[in-house]
């Protein structure tokens, strides 16, 4: 999950790369570094350190050679450590001999390669990456041909990689090659550039292409080339970003997370509006044929984290509204559960980044066994998007904060449309019922806006749980599904050990953990479950817990006498997940920001998990 960038062009490389690393820092922020070339001395100078990009900038201010300030070619890296601790030495770039490179991924046979190429004496770090540099340098020493050395290296390394490489004798040229780990690239008047994802490329242009796997990219100042492993030229498949340029800045908010929470009404609206025609779900703009739903009779959602939580909501709705069973699998577990997969299986892969390797592997596993595959994805051109038979793209724009917010609600909005589409193609609902359903969906952006208007009330609630070490979130049915996501948000940005629990299950053990120091967040939006939910809330309160009850407005009458409540704007029960999600996102955000944490970059996390 590291951030990688390479640039060769007319601008000063140090500025382009450092700025790009700041934009990519959400992919990993244990350490940062860059290498600069193209200077007269023909040396490639490396500057790197443990810490953030800001620490790298300070290092550059102190130590950068004068001639490097004029360098116009370089590579950069922000690291999420996989091999070797967080140290200056283990930071990327790494150099062995004439080869300098950065890497995102995991080389599985780096120990064998260290022996085979007798690299022990040459290595300074504990990383698998430095071993690749050593192997490349060994091959380059034989031929002094960069592309030949790369091809030879690709034949011996095993694992996932995005390698961005510089050779001392080619100071204005950058080479790159990938397997699974992503690299996108572009060419503009300012030069040639590549990066782990589009966020860093919006600076110069909205055109880009994905470097195909096992294809060598050769970037020059005013041209770029793609070569197959046997040396044949390949044309890039150019795409256009559907993001506004520079939409990757904070827009005046202190953190991206707050910006992205506030973007949700617009992003949900944008995601829905192009898929509704005359009130009926229509995926023709996505070129998704109805047969993907008609010809399948069992549905599995495979995803991770927040994306998986959308599957829990989808499962609840499918059972309740379509009388249709849906399996929801943690993508990292999917293939190890020996799932029953066939040509009647529809695998729905939900992923913001489209690069989560666990989810990608699940898609490949299901496809190999004949399943139809549908992606619900935010990033065009991503690996999972390219792997799936069909993709519904969320129109959320770049999501930079590690904690996923607008991706969740836009993924949900597409899954709600899938519910309506299945109901139509399977003949379960008439058009009138479908329209009633979509009319409620179209109201969700406004309900989220209403929650945003009440954010100060939620901020006050947040202040009451700042000191908590443990916290329970309790609810039933759809509320329990929504709380799984609310609990993850709080956990990952505030470090409070929050646990979502089915309210009725607490008394079977976990209630033993309830004390006066254990705040409880309860969610009640399902009319039919209110009485039971209130009984469970009384149970935990009688054991000393302080409880805040998020409750649907229409169900809240009189409850303020007995409980500390936050009212959520009314929608039909099945749609209350949207306002509830926004309220719980705000709760997590305010707890984290009031605790003084870097909300966008929580410890130990990275935005995209490209290691299994
Ligand atoms: C959610 O806030 C986390 N950032 C994480 O759980 C994330 O949802 C998960 O890693 C899946 O990422 P994806 O949607 O890019 O596949």
The number of the ligand 1 atom at minimal distance from the alpha carbon of 492 is 2
If we measure between CA atoms, which residue out of 609, 606, 487, 611 comes closest to residue 31?
606
- Angle among Cα 282, 284, 286 to the nearest 5 degrees reads 110
pLDDT, tens digit (0-9, with 9 covering 90-100), for 108-141: 999 999 999 999 999 999 999 999 999 999 999 9
Strands 239-240 and 233-234: unpaired
Q: Strand, coil or helix: what is 583?
A: helix
What does the pLDDT read at residue 206? 85
Indicate the class that CATH gives domain 3-240. Answer: alpha beta
Atom 16 in ligand 1: residue holding the nearest Cα:
351
CATH class of 255-442: alpha beta
Distance CA 208, CA 214 (A): 18
Structure tokens at 165: 């490489």
What stretches of 133-257 adopt beta strand conformation (E)? Answer: 159-167, 174-179, 184-188, 191-195, 207-210, 216-220, 223-227, 233-234, 239-240
**Å from CA of 242 to ligand 1 middle:** 21
Task: Tell which residue, 142, 112, 102, has the closest CA to residue 20.
Answer: 102
Which residues are registered as beta bridge partners of 395? none
pLDDT at 200 (0 to 100)? 87
Q: Is the peptide bond before 93 cis (omega within 30 degrees of 0)?
A: yes
Q: Note every long-range contact of 560-568, with CB atoms under 8 Å and residues 24 or more positions apart, other chains counting.
A: 563/537, 564/461, 566/454, 566/457, 566/458, 566/461, 567/454, 568/447, 568/451, 568/525
| Higher-scoring residue by pLDDT: 206, 451 | 451
- Residue 329, classed as helix, strand or coil, is strand
Q: Measured from the CB, is residue 260 less than 6 Å from ligand 1?
A: no
- Cα separation, 249 vs 399, in Å, equals 10
Residues tagged active-site: 2, 607
Q: In angstroms, rounded to a whole number, what is the distance separating the alpha carbons of residues 600 and 326?
A: 33
How far, in Å, from the CA of 306 to the mean position of ligand 1? 5
Q: What is the average pLDDT value for the chain, to the nearest integer?
A: 94
Q: Is the pLDDT of residue 245 over 60?
A: no
Indicate whether 249 pLDDT > 80: no
Q: Which of 196, 304, 355 to mutate to test the pocket of ligand 1 (most atoms within 8 A of CB)?
A: 304
Q: Is 305 in the pocket of ligand 1 (CB under 6 A)?
A: yes
Mutate to test the pocket of ligand 1, among 301, 356, 398 (most ligand atoms within 8 A of CB): 356
* Residue among 609, 610, 611 whose CB has most ligand 1 atoms within 8 A, to mutate: 609
List the end-to-end C-alpha distance of the chain, in Å, as a whole number. Answer: 11
Distance 607 CA to ligand 1 centre (A): 7
Q: What's the confidence (pLDDT) of residue 508?
A: 93
Give the Å distance between the CA of 295 and the centre of ligand 1. 30
Q: Judge whether residue 313 has pLDDT over 60.
A: yes
Task: Give the per-residue pLDDT at 84.
Answer: 83
Q: Where are the domains of the chain?
A: 3-240, 255-442, 446-595
Is 410 close to ligand 1, i.e. is its CB under 6 Å away? Answer: no
Whole-model pTM: value is 0.83
Q: Provide the 3-class DSSP secondary structure of residue 447.
A: helix
- Measured from the Cα of 607, ligand 1's closest atom is 4
At 246, the pLDDT band (50, 70, 90 cuts) reads low
* CA within 13 Å, CB half, 586: 26
User: Which residue bears the tokens 């116009």?
Assistant: 72
User: Cα separation of 307 and 360, whole Å?
Assistant: 13
What does DSSP say about strands 207-210 and 280-281: parallel, antiparallel, or unpaired?
Answer: unpaired
Inter-residue contact 150 to 136 (CB < 8 Å): yes
pLDDT band for position 40 (50/70/90)?
low
Q: What angle do CA 488, 490, 491 make, to 5 degrees?
A: 60
CA–CA gap between residue 453 and residue 456 (Å, rounded): 8
Does the Cβ of 490 fall within 6 Å of ligand 1? no
Q: Kindly state if the Cβ of 492 falls inside 6 Å of ligand 1.
A: yes
Domains 3-240 and 446-595 share a fold: no
Asked if the model's pLDDT at residue 149 lies above 90, the reply is yes
Question: What is the CATH architecture assignment of 446-595?
Answer: 3-Layer(aba) Sandwich (3.40)
Q: Report pLDDT for 250.
A: 82
What would the pLDDT profile of 551-603 be if each residue is shown by its tens digit? 999 999 999 999 999 999 999 999 999 999 999 999 999 999 999 999 998 99
Question: What is Dmax (Cα atoms) for the chain?
Answer: 82
What is the band of 82 on the pLDDT scale with cuts at 50, 70, 90?
confident
**pLDDT tens column, 257-281:** 999 999 999 999 999 999 999 999 9
Among the residue ranges 78-87, 246-255, 302-311, 515-524, the one predicted with the least confidence is: 246-255
Q: Distance, CA 404 to ligand 1 centroid (Å)? A: 6
The stretches of 32-178 forming alpha helices (DSSP H) are 53-63, 110-116, 128-143, 146-154
Q: Is the CB of 351 under 6 A from ligand 1?
A: yes
* Residue of higher predicted confidence among 532 and 42: 532
Q: Which of 13-22, 95-104, 166-175, 240-249 has the lowest mean pLDDT?
A: 240-249
């Amino acid at each position: 999950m590291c951030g990688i960038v390479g640039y060769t062009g007319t601008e000063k490389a140090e500025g382009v790369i450092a700025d790009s690393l700041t934009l990519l820092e959400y992919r990993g922020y244990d350490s940062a570094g860059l290498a600069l070339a193209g200077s007269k001395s023909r040396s490639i100078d490396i500057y790197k350190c443990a810490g953030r990009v800001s620490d790298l900038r300070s290092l550059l201010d102190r130590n950068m050679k004068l001639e490097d300030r004029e360098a116009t070619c370089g590579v950069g890296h922000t690291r999420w450590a996989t091999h070797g601790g967080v140290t200056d030495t283990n930071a990327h770039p790494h150099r062995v001999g004439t080869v300098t490179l950065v890497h995102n991924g995991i080389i599985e046979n780096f120990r064998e390669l260290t022996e085979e190429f007798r690299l022990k004496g040459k290595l300074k770090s504990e990383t698998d990456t430095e071993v690749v540099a050593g192997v490349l340098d060994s091959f380059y020493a034989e031929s002094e041909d960069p592309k030949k050395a790369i091809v030879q290296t690709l034949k011996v390394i095993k694992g996932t990689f995005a390698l961005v490489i510089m050779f001392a004798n080619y100071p204005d040229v950058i080479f790159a090659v990938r397997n699974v780990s992503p690299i996108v690239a572009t060419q503009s008047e300012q030069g040639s550039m590549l990066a782990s994802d589009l966020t860093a490329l919006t600076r110069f242009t909205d055109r880009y292409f994905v470097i195909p796997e096992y294809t060598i990219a050769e970037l020059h100042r005013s041209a770029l080339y793609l070569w197959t492993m046997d040396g044949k030229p390949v044309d890039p498949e150019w795409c256009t970003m559907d993001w506004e340029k520079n939409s990757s800045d904070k827009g005046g908010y202190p953190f991206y997370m707050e910006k992205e929470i506030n973007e949700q009404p617009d992003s949900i609206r944008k995601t829905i509006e192009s898929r509704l025609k005359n009130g009926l779900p229509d995926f023709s703009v996505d070129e998704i044929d109805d047969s993907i739903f008609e010809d399948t009779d069992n549905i599995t959602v495979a995803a991770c984290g927040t994306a998986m939580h959308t599957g829990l909501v989808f499962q609840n709705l499918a059972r309740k509204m379509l009388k249709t069973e849906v399996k929801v699998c943690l993508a990292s577990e999917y293939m190890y559960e020996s799932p029953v997969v066939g040509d009647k299986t529809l695998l729905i892969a939900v992923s913001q980044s489209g690069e989560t390797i666990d989810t990608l592997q699940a898609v490949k596993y299901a496809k190999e066994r004949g399943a139809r595959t549908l992606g619900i994805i935010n990033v065009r051109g991503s690996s999972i998007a390219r792997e799936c038979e069909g993709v519904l793209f969320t129109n959320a724009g770049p999501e930079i904060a590690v904690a996923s917010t607008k991706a969740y609600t836009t993924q949900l909005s597409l899954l709600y449309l899938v519910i309506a589409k299945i109901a139509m193609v399977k003949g379960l609902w008439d058009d009138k019922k479908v329209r009633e359903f979509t009319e409620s969906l179209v109201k969700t952006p406004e309900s989220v806006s209403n929650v945003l208007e009440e954010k100060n009330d939620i901020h006050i609630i947040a202040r009451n749980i700042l000191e908590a070490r443990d916290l329970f979130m309790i609810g039933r049915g759809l509320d329990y599904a929504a709380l799984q996501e609310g609990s993850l948000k709080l956990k990952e940005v505030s470090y409070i050990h929050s646990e979502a629990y089915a309210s009725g299950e607490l008394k079977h053990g976990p209630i033993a953990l309830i004390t006066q120091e254990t705040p409880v967040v309860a969610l009640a939006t399902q009319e039919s479950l209110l009485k039971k939910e209130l009984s469970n809330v009384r149970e935990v309160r009688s054991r000393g817990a302080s409880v805040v009850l998020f409750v649907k407005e229409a169900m809240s009458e009189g409850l303020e006498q007995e409980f500390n409540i936050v009212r959520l704007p009314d929608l039909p029960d099945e749609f209350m997940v949207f306002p509830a999600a926004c309220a719980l996102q705000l709760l997590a955000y305010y707890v984290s920001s009031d605790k003084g944490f870097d909300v966008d970059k929580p410890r130990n996390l990275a935005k995209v998990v490209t290691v299994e």
